[in-house]
Amino acid sequence: MRRALYPGRFQPVHWGHVKVMRWALERVDELIIGIGTAQESHTVVNPFTSGERVIMIREALKDAGVDLSRVHIIPIPDILMNSVWPYYVQMYVPKFQYGVARNPLVLRLFKDAGIEVLVPPPYDRSKYSSTKIRKLMIVGSDAWRELVPPSVAKFIDEIDGVGRLREVTGVDE
Protein backbone atom coordinates (compact mmCIF):
# COMPACT_ATOMS: atom_id res chain seq x y z
CA MET A 1 0.00 0.00 0.00
CA ARG A 2 1.52 3.29 -1.14
CA ARG A 3 0.31 6.09 1.11
CA ALA A 4 1.18 9.80 1.21
CA LEU A 5 0.64 12.59 3.70
CA TYR A 6 -0.47 16.03 2.47
CA PRO A 7 -0.33 18.48 5.40
CA GLY A 8 -1.96 21.91 5.44
CA ARG A 9 -4.21 24.20 7.44
CA PHE A 10 -6.93 24.38 4.75
CA GLN A 11 -8.38 27.65 6.09
CA PRO A 12 -10.44 27.13 3.93
CA VAL A 13 -9.83 24.36 1.42
CA HIS A 14 -9.87 25.71 -2.15
CA TRP A 15 -9.63 24.42 -5.73
CA GLY A 16 -5.81 24.61 -5.63
CA HIS A 17 -5.76 22.21 -2.67
CA VAL A 18 -8.19 19.89 -4.45
CA LYS A 19 -5.96 19.88 -7.53
CA VAL A 20 -2.98 18.80 -5.39
CA MET A 21 -5.08 16.09 -3.71
CA ARG A 22 -6.16 14.68 -7.07
CA TRP A 23 -2.57 14.83 -8.34
CA ALA A 24 -1.33 12.91 -5.29
CA LEU A 25 -4.05 10.28 -5.66
CA GLU A 26 -2.81 9.59 -9.19
CA ARG A 27 0.51 8.52 -7.64
CA VAL A 28 -0.44 6.67 -4.45
CA ASP A 29 -3.10 4.24 -3.28
CA GLU A 30 -4.24 6.37 -0.34
CA LEU A 31 -3.85 9.97 0.72
CA ILE A 32 -3.73 11.21 4.28
CA ILE A 33 -4.79 14.84 4.54
CA GLY A 34 -3.30 16.20 7.74
CA ILE A 35 -5.18 19.22 9.06
CA GLY A 36 -2.52 21.28 10.79
CA THR A 37 -3.01 23.73 13.63
CA ALA A 38 -6.00 21.60 14.61
CA GLN A 39 -6.23 23.16 18.07
CA GLU A 40 -6.84 26.70 16.83
CA SER A 41 -10.01 28.33 15.54
CA HIS A 42 -11.91 31.61 15.61
CA THR A 43 -8.83 33.69 14.68
CA VAL A 44 -8.01 35.70 11.57
CA VAL A 45 -5.55 33.11 10.21
CA ASN A 46 -7.41 30.06 11.54
CA PRO A 47 -11.11 30.92 11.53
CA PHE A 48 -12.46 27.38 11.15
CA THR A 49 -12.34 24.50 13.63
CA SER A 50 -10.62 21.27 12.71
CA GLY A 51 -14.03 19.55 12.59
CA GLU A 52 -15.34 22.18 10.18
CA ARG A 53 -12.26 21.70 8.00
CA VAL A 54 -12.80 17.93 7.97
CA ILE A 55 -16.31 18.49 6.61
CA MET A 56 -15.15 21.09 4.07
CA ILE A 57 -12.41 18.80 2.74
CA ARG A 58 -14.77 15.81 2.47
CA GLU A 59 -17.36 17.89 0.64
CA ALA A 60 -14.73 19.45 -1.65
CA LEU A 61 -13.47 16.00 -2.61
CA LYS A 62 -17.02 14.83 -3.28
CA ASP A 63 -17.49 17.87 -5.56
CA ALA A 64 -14.32 16.78 -7.39
CA GLY A 65 -15.50 13.18 -7.76
CA VAL A 66 -12.73 11.74 -5.56
CA ASP A 67 -13.18 8.24 -4.12
CA LEU A 68 -13.31 9.00 -0.39
CA SER A 69 -12.42 5.39 0.48
CA ARG A 70 -8.86 6.30 -0.58
CA VAL A 71 -8.64 9.33 1.72
CA HIS A 72 -8.00 9.78 5.45
CA ILE A 73 -8.60 13.25 6.92
CA ILE A 74 -6.91 13.66 10.28
CA PRO A 75 -6.57 16.76 12.50
CA ILE A 76 -3.08 17.30 13.90
CA PRO A 77 -2.37 19.83 16.67
CA ASP A 78 0.78 21.94 16.40
CA ILE A 79 3.96 20.92 18.19
CA LEU A 80 6.00 24.10 17.47
CA MET A 81 9.29 22.18 17.18
CA ASN A 82 10.12 21.88 13.50
CA SER A 83 12.91 19.31 13.74
CA VAL A 84 10.67 16.72 15.43
CA TRP A 85 7.47 17.59 13.55
CA PRO A 86 7.64 14.66 11.03
CA TYR A 87 8.02 12.16 13.89
CA TYR A 88 5.24 13.80 15.90
CA VAL A 89 2.87 13.69 12.90
CA GLN A 90 3.52 9.96 12.54
CA MET A 91 1.85 9.41 15.93
CA TYR A 92 -1.43 10.82 14.56
CA VAL A 93 -1.70 9.25 11.13
CA PRO A 94 -1.51 5.85 9.46
CA LYS A 95 1.92 4.78 8.22
CA PHE A 96 2.95 6.65 5.06
CA GLN A 97 5.87 6.53 2.66
CA TYR A 98 5.60 9.92 0.95
CA GLY A 99 5.12 13.53 1.93
CA VAL A 100 3.28 15.83 -0.48
CA ALA A 101 4.31 19.48 -0.31
CA ARG A 102 5.68 22.51 -2.10
CA ASN A 103 6.45 24.48 1.09
CA PRO A 104 10.27 24.62 1.39
CA LEU A 105 10.26 24.08 5.17
CA VAL A 106 7.91 21.09 4.99
CA LEU A 107 9.97 19.59 2.16
CA ARG A 108 13.17 19.96 4.21
CA LEU A 109 11.55 18.42 7.30
CA PHE A 110 10.28 15.43 5.32
CA LYS A 111 13.71 14.93 3.71
CA ASP A 112 15.55 15.22 7.04
CA ALA A 113 13.25 12.53 8.45
CA GLY A 114 13.99 10.23 5.50
CA ILE A 115 10.52 10.58 4.02
CA GLU A 116 10.41 10.64 0.22
CA VAL A 117 8.73 13.77 -1.13
CA LEU A 118 6.24 14.17 -3.94
CA VAL A 119 6.28 17.75 -5.19
CA PRO A 120 3.09 18.63 -7.06
CA PRO A 121 3.18 21.04 -9.97
CA PRO A 122 2.42 24.62 -8.97
CA TYR A 123 -1.15 25.78 -9.16
CA ASP A 124 -2.08 29.42 -9.58
CA ARG A 125 -1.18 30.63 -6.05
CA SER A 126 -1.96 34.22 -6.96
CA LYS A 127 -5.54 33.08 -7.53
CA TYR A 128 -5.89 30.12 -5.13
CA SER A 129 -4.74 31.21 -1.71
CA SER A 130 -6.55 30.70 1.58
CA THR A 131 -5.11 34.02 2.78
CA LYS A 132 -6.60 35.78 -0.28
CA ILE A 133 -9.93 33.99 0.26
CA ARG A 134 -10.08 35.12 3.90
CA LYS A 135 -9.23 38.70 2.86
CA LEU A 136 -12.05 38.68 0.30
CA MET A 137 -14.43 37.45 3.01
CA ILE A 138 -13.30 40.16 5.42
CA VAL A 139 -13.87 42.98 2.92
CA GLY A 140 -17.29 41.58 2.03
CA SER A 141 -16.52 40.48 -1.53
CA ASP A 142 -18.30 37.39 -2.87
CA ALA A 143 -15.38 36.72 -5.27
CA TRP A 144 -14.09 34.08 -2.79
CA ARG A 145 -16.97 31.79 -3.75
CA GLU A 146 -15.50 30.95 -7.18
CA LEU A 147 -12.18 29.94 -5.55
CA VAL A 148 -13.67 27.14 -3.44
CA PRO A 149 -15.82 24.15 -4.39
CA PRO A 150 -19.58 24.91 -4.24
CA SER A 151 -20.13 22.65 -1.22
CA VAL A 152 -17.43 24.53 0.70
CA ALA A 153 -19.09 27.89 0.00
CA LYS A 154 -22.43 26.40 1.08
CA PHE A 155 -20.94 25.03 4.31
CA ILE A 156 -19.23 28.34 5.13
CA ASP A 157 -22.61 30.03 4.65
CA GLU A 158 -24.30 27.47 6.95
CA ILE A 159 -21.87 28.16 9.80
CA ASP A 160 -21.79 31.92 9.12
CA GLY A 161 -18.05 31.63 8.51
CA VAL A 162 -17.83 35.03 6.85
CA GLY A 163 -19.63 36.64 9.78
CA ARG A 164 -17.29 34.89 12.23
CA LEU A 165 -14.21 36.04 10.32
CA ARG A 166 -15.47 39.61 10.10
CA GLU A 167 -16.25 39.62 13.84
CA VAL A 168 -12.84 38.32 14.93
CA THR A 169 -11.14 40.95 12.77
CA GLY A 170 -13.33 43.68 14.22
CA VAL A 171 -14.82 44.61 10.84
CA ASP A 172 -18.39 44.17 12.10
CA GLU A 173 -17.99 46.28 15.24
Mean pLDDT of 63-90: 97
pLDDT digits (tens, 9 = 90+) for 13-50: 999 999 999 999 999 999 999 999 999 999 999 999 99
What is the largest distance, in Å, between two alpha-carbon atoms of the chain? 52
Residue 123 binned pLDDT confidence (cut-offs 50, 70, 90): confident
- What is the model's pLDDT at position 77? 98
101-107-111 Cα angle (round to 5): 130
CATH of the domain at 17: 3.40.50.620
User: What integer pLDDT is reported at residue 173 of this predicted model?
Assistant: 56
Domain that holds residue 165: 3-169
As a whole number, mean pLDDT of residues 42-60 equals 98
Cβ neighbours for 66, distance < 8 A, ≥ 6 positions apart: 18, 21, 22, 25
Among 5-9, 86-90, 124-128, 131-135, the least confident range? 124-128
| Number of compact structural domains in the chain | 1
pLDDT above 90 as % of the chain:
94
Q: Which of 10-24, 67-81, 116-130 has the lowest mean pLDDT?
A: 116-130
Mean pLDDT (whole number) for 127-149:
97
Query: Would residue 135 be called left, alpha or beta, if left means φ above 0 and alpha means ψ between -120 and 50 degrees?
Result: alpha
Average pLDDT over residues 122-126: 86
Q: Is the pLDDT of residue 171 over 80?
A: no
pTM for this prediction: 0.95
Distance CA 43, CA 47 (A): 5
